Structure 1
Amino acid sequence: MENTVVFPYNEQDFNKTELAPSYRVELRDPTNEKLDKFIKANVVSDWSELNWNKIGKPYIVDKMAVDRLNWEKENKQDMPVKTSWSYFNRSFHEWFVKDVPIELSEKKKTFTKSLSKFKMNDVKVVLSDIVKLNLWNYVHRVQDGIWDPRGKRALFEGLDVKKPRILFLGAAEGYEAMQLAAMYPGAEVVLVDYDIYCKTHRFKEFPSTYPFLGDNPSTGSAKVWYKDEMNIEYEVEDIRNLKYGKEFDIVLSVGLLEHVPDEHKAEILDMHRRFVKQGGYIIMTTPRNQIRSRIYYNIMADVMNHTYRELMDIRQMGLYVYEAGFDIIRHGFIKVHNGIIAQVR
């Protein structure tokens, strides 16, 4: 007999927020009326007046993960891009599935035990683990800065689509496409990533009990949606080899543009243009260039920094998009990300 998934939240839980062991449940403001807006929105009034001399180039994160450095030392070559993504996905996913309170408790016990036995090397390692766990707990679980459902809903609201086809390039666990599917019911979602681990672990192990706030088309009111209620297909493929045409209402990427140097950014942006319908939407986010983001990527280097990475401000991100032939419909930044809605010019 198959196990039936019990959905733990419904419309009776609107305006609730609480901490689960590995993430925050966020059901506040189901109608979007008082939704967290961009911290600062539409900061550029005329993109044609911007140039790189005015705004400078993005900040390059140059502290690499120890696993990458060890691989390169052993293999006497730069780590290939696909290999670096494989390492990153496995490393990052381990943090999403942690029971943070239990792990913190266990690490503190280990720290006390090591200290009492004067095992100073162990003390140093465990102390580093505790710092990372506390930072992860604050950024992802307490502040909800990585998934950021309230900020993402502010970015995604008001699109002129019904039952859209959504293509998510470099989808990982597919979070943002699921948020869009909740907001625009009847969506058909195609997630694409060339690392099979993203399908078999990052997406598959995304909690089926995580609630997304969205709309109920039959009543016109708000509704709680879950992953298993959505129409989602996962394709394991290099996005350069996709056979789709211009058939998607929304083409989405999250944290993709900043992973390639300038000579490849036009190609990344063209991959979005290649699949979007006339009048359809391009949605993109990148991590913000701010002091706390620099601190985060420095402390969490062994978790996060297996790949080339930049931190941008919204003007830099937008100028890449504008110069590639897109009109920017909405732009701004939320907790830790820049966000842009664009259309092909």
Structure 2
Amino acid sequence: MELASITPEHPFSEQDFEYTTLLPSYRVDLRNARNEQLNRFLNANVVSDWSQLSWKEIGRPFEVKKLAKERRDWEKEHEQDMPVKKSWEYFNRSFHNLFMQDVPAEQERLKSSLKDSFKGFHLHDIKQGLGEMARLSLWNYVHRIEDGIWDPRGKRALFEGLDVENPRILFLGAAEGYEAMQLHAMYPGGEVVMVDYDAFCKTDRFAHFPNTYPFLGTNPQTGAPKVWYKDQMNITYLVKDIRDLDFHKEFDIVLSVGLLEHVPDEHKPAILEWHRKFVKDDGYVIMTTPRNQMKSRIYYHVMADMMNHTYRELMDIRQMGLYAYENGLDIVRHGFIKVHNGIIARAR
């Protein structure tokens, strides 16, 4: 097996397979490099015939109603609903700040601050500090301990087995671009085009994604597992409204993560058409959305001030799949991973 050189920029190699550790901001997880336990990470085949499924049977998604204080304050000040683009700008900055935290150091800072507040009987500061501690503890568990946001093993299980070679990958609403980089590592040799209409996603969320983060993928020369890094990938990042893209049906994979659930039903056909519009006839559409489960409802309630700047729904996989099926997609694979639903589809 070809072994990568260890450098400060590329600290992990094929010698580190089955290794996992917690860094201050995220987990490194190089376990199960060969994806030999897919069913452990992806439960599929909930629906055998999508044409027989009805909304009456499965109900509509759960709408998250609790909004971030920043949004409520903005709307009170401006006496209008926050525009959609601005709500995304607020969300992206808030979410990015979570990813960039040195969590153990921040926990120690909050503990010290709370201790001082208790000594001085500063009730307002105590209440605020306890809220910050609860949010940070939940973020630490979901993102670092469980690795539920990036979920590399679950995402690889979802992406496994696609019939593509040197694929062109289009990521709609790309944010930091994690999932496209994971796909690019698994199916190397092609190109990733990331698109987001908030420039902050390119200049900060993507630009500050750690170059030292290892993606488990494939060595194109040998077919064996290989560790990849962001700076080894062929990525173009466009700051553009998806509606203004001038691509044609030229991508082998069109991907979105956490996009469909951010619009009410009347706009979902347009969202899904953006996927169909740019994928080749024999290409794949890949989508994920947060799962409707109790721990997800608790998460978005506790983390509201950090997460809930935009319209948001929680779906089960049947709801997500029915939206896709009714809007011209045939479901190839569907299921759920730690905190997300996942669908692989083809355009009809």
Pair in the same fold by TM > 0.5? yes
Among residues 25, 48, 51, which one is paired with 2:51 in the alignment? 48
Cα distance in 2 between the residues matched to 1:148 and 1:159:
19
1:221 aligns with 2:214: no
Q: Secondary structure at the match of 1:153?
A: helix
Tell me if 1:263 matches 2:298: no
Distance 1:38 1:19 in 2: 20
Tell me the residue number matched to 2:237. Answer: 234
Question: Which stretches of structure 1, 4 residues or longer, exceed 6 Å deviation after superposition?
Answer: none
Look up the match of 2:115: 112
Q: Which amino acid aligns with 1:279?
A: D
Greater shift, 24-33 or 204-213, is seen at 24-33
Paired residues of 2:168 and 2:190 also in contact (CA < 8 A): yes
Partner of residue 186 from structure 1, selected from 182, 186, 189: 189
Equivalent AA in structure 2 for residue 213 of structure 1: L
Could you give the per-residue CA deviations for residues 198-253 of structure 1, whole angstroms, max 9, x where no partner exists? 00000000000000000001122110000000000000000000011110000000
How many Å separate the matches in 2 of 1:239 and 1:33? 36
Provide the C-alpha distance between the structure 2 equivalents of 1:36 and 1:326, rounded to a whole number of angstroms.
24
Which residue of structure 2 aligns with residue 341 of structure 1? 344
Q: How does 1:39-188 map to 2 (within 5 A)?
A: 39-188=42-191
Instruction: Provide closer, same or farther for how the CA distance between residues 258 and 296 of structure 1 changes in structure 2, counting only shifts above 3 A.
Output: same
Q: Deviations over 1:250-298 (max 9, x none)?
A: 0000000000000000000000001001110000000000000000000
Given that 1:89 and 1:198 are in contact with CA atoms closer than 8 Å, whether structure 2 keeps it comes out as: yes
Q: Sequence identity, in percent? A: 68
Give me the whole-angstrom Cα distance separating, in 2, the residues matched to 1:90 and 1:51. Answer: 38
SS in 2 for 1:245: coil
Aligned to 2:310, the other structure's residue is in SS state coil
Alignment check: 8 A CA contact 1:5 1:208 kept: no
Contact residue 91 and residue 307 of structure 2 kept, 8 A: yes
Distance (whole Å) between structure 2 residues aligned to residue 77 and residue 42 of structure 1: 44
CA RMSD between the two structures: 0.9
Alpha-carbon distance change, 154 to 26 in structure 1, aligned in 2, over 3 angstroms? same
**Cα distance change on mapping 1:335 and 1:146 into 2, 3 Å:** same
**TM alignment of 1:174-323, pairs within 5 A:** 174-323=177-326
The DSSP-based 3-state class of the residue aligned with 1:147 is coil
Distance of 2:309 and 2:9 partners within structure 1: 37
Aligned counterparts of 2:25 and 2:45: Cα–Cα separation in 1: 33
Gap runs ≥5 in structure 2: 1-6
**Matched letter for residue 160 of structure 2:** E
1:33 offset after TM fit, Å?
Answer: 1.4
Instruction: Write the distance in 1 (CA, Å) between the matches of 2:187 and 2:178.
Output: 14
Alignment of 1:28-47 (within 5 A): 28-35=31-38, 37-47=40-50
What residue ranges of structure 1 are gaps of 5+ in the alignment? none
- Separation (CA, whole Å) in 1 of partners of 2:212 and 2:41: 27
Residue 277 of structure 2 aligns with an amino acid whose one-letter code is: R
Q: What is the DSSP-based 3-state SS (H/G/I as helix, E as strand, rest coil) of the residue aligned with 2:342?
A: strand
Whether the 8 Å CA contact 1:38–1:332 is kept in 2: the answer is no
The one-letter amino acid paired with 1:40 is: N
- 1:37 Cα offset (Å): 3.8
CA contact (8 A) 1:276 1:282 kept: yes
**Aligned partners of 1:133, 1:36: CA distance in 2, in Å?**
31
Question: 1:230 & 1:40 partners in 2: Cα distance?
Answer: 30
Count of aligned residue pairs for this structure pair = 342
